[in-house]
Structure 1
């Protein structure tokens, strides 16, 4: 099953006196580009967190955010540095008097000043790592579900595009059946028109005609294109995390289509080739979204 590289997952849980909020966002990228935003208390766990992400999400630009908040019911005392508060208040009040302002917000300003209210720190030794890890896995699972849903949509689109190219190949085969006969007839007609004025070596003409038709022959390209289309379908339906491989197969499909177009010398085949190229561009665009 194919997965999109775009995904989102969120987990929120409570453990001990902590609220643990985990969020994962994933976008397109050629490789795994992991950007964690975690509390300093989890710095020693970053390697383990990275391994969790790498093992499950494989590829894409992955942004992880973990927030640890003390629970409102933790009955923790608010710590205020009264000396700092008084110093800030007196300074603000002095400035206020100098400009003849009677501001009533001086207490609020003093409380919001740096280091007046001391944030309750979380003890790294008491962190419930087992629950934090479970939260990360919960967010990963949600992200994977999102990716799989998007992947199903992408798979359906890619199958349709390949089917359209396959239909184009069938049209090419139908037109190719009469193409060489038409070229031979046209050249013979042109030759007949000048026979009375120019001496023609029939054997040499036949040799040149065969050489010319061989240069226009697209039999091998048709066979290889069909093989590439079959292989694309097989990988799409049976292999996981096949974005890069599908990209390589798309390149091979493009080579055969281009060669058919350059050799065709046939208006209807050329129009079909343009259609197939358009479908292939859609495939390449969607391949960029697949893990």
Structure 2
């Protein structure tokens, strides 16, 4: 069924005593564009997260936010540089001896030594942690996809409504089509009468006939509009992404409407063409939201 490209999904849960939250929002985009914002300790999971999302979504800009509350992603350890401390202590003993300093070397002196003791942070990675995060991503994707589907149902209803209006106007154009032919036939008849009476030369008649052959009939465009409308309706029932196809059909509908407008020299047809193009423009706006 039809799916929109806009939506939101969220999932949260505790993994190894920390709270993880995954949020996703999607907007229109020509292709699939996934933007990830998450702790750097999770960057090794980026490819798996992208693949998981792309299995369910084919178009749209997807912004993914993964937040964690807690320190489960890192461990801390103390690193003592014994060689450096030995050099410091040896140097301090020499300084004491050289300048006859009686002060005793204490632990505080050693702790104050630059680089002697350091706290190291290391990333923690485990299958349980990775699987838990991927489950949350999958839950957020499902919620996002559901919202896109619901929004898509609303879009489908609106598009079908506008297609019905489009078809009705096209039916009206079909009724008025003979007027165009009649107007040109009358013009040709008048030109022939003028030619017979010697008021018009042969080249002028030939020019009028050529114009008649090119512009008199708008039924071809009307028939194609009917065909495009039916293809549009049929596409709305497809399960695969159809946004690009619908965008192409909208362009074709607009092309036919423009052609009719340039051919028809009739105020009523011109009025219908304006309404036709107005609806097509609305279709175009809605199609931009479809996956």
TM-score exceeds 0.5: yes
- Give matches, 1:145-224, under 5 Å: 145-189=146-190, 198=199, 205=205, 210-216=209-215, 217-224=217-224
Pair 70,39 (structure 1): closer, same or farther in 2 beyond 3 Å: same
Once residues 192 and 35 of structure 2 are traced to their aligned partners in structure 1, the CA distance between those partners, rounded to angstroms, is: 71
The Cα offsets for residues 212-249 of structure 1, whole Å up to 9 and x where unpaired, read as 32212112212222111111111122243111111011
Q: Please, which moves more after superposition, 190-199 or 31-40?
A: 190-199
Paired position in structure 1 for 2:46: 46
Judge conservation of contact 1:7–1:144 (CA < 8 Å) in 2.
yes
The 3-state SS of whatever aligns with 2:23 is strand
Larger of the two Rg values belongs to structure: 2
The Cα offsets for residues 61-88 of structure 1, whole Å up to 9 and x where unpaired, read as 11111112239xx9xxxxxxxxxxxxxx
Aligned residue-pair number: 245
Gaps of 5+ in 1: 75-117
Paired position in structure 1 for 2:33: 33
CA apart distance, 1:192: 5.1
The Cα offsets for residues 151-197 of structure 1, whole Å up to 9 and x where unpaired, read as 11111111122222111110111011233224323553576579667
The 3-state SS of whatever aligns with 2:135 is helix
Pair 167,199 (structure 1): closer, same or farther in 2 beyond 3 Å: closer
1:232 aligns with 2:255: no
- Give matches, 1:60-79, under 5 Å: 60-70=60-70
Once residues 21 and 220 of structure 1 are traced to their aligned partners in structure 2, the CA distance between those partners, rounded to angstroms, is: 57
The Cα offsets for residues 33-60 of structure 1, whole Å up to 9 and x where unpaired, read as 1110111221111111111111212111
The 3-state SS of whatever aligns with 2:55 is helix
Once residues 209 and 155 of structure 1 are traced to their aligned partners in structure 2, the CA distance between those partners, rounded to angstroms, is: 46
Once residues 119 and 25 of structure 1 are traced to their aligned partners in structure 2, the CA distance between those partners, rounded to angstroms, is: 36
Once residues 240 and 200 of structure 2 are traced to their aligned partners in structure 1, the CA distance between those partners, rounded to angstroms, is: 66
TM-score by length of 1: 0.75
Judge conservation of contact 2:22–2:67 (CA < 8 Å) in 1.
yes
1:20 aligns with 2:20: yes
Paired position in structure 2 for 1:135: 136
TM-score by length of 2: 0.75
Pair 215,121 (structure 1): closer, same or farther in 2 beyond 3 Å: same
Judge conservation of contact 1:184–1:209 (CA < 8 Å) in 2.
no
Gaps of 5+ in 2: 73-118
The 3-state SS of whatever aligns with 1:134 is helix
Judge conservation of contact 2:191–2:200 (CA < 8 Å) in 1.
no
Once residues 140 and 171 of structure 2 are traced to their aligned partners in structure 1, the CA distance between those partners, rounded to angstroms, is: 46
Judge conservation of contact 2:34–2:62 (CA < 8 Å) in 1.
yes
Once residues 241 and 199 of structure 1 are traced to their aligned partners in structure 2, the CA distance between those partners, rounded to angstroms, is: 59
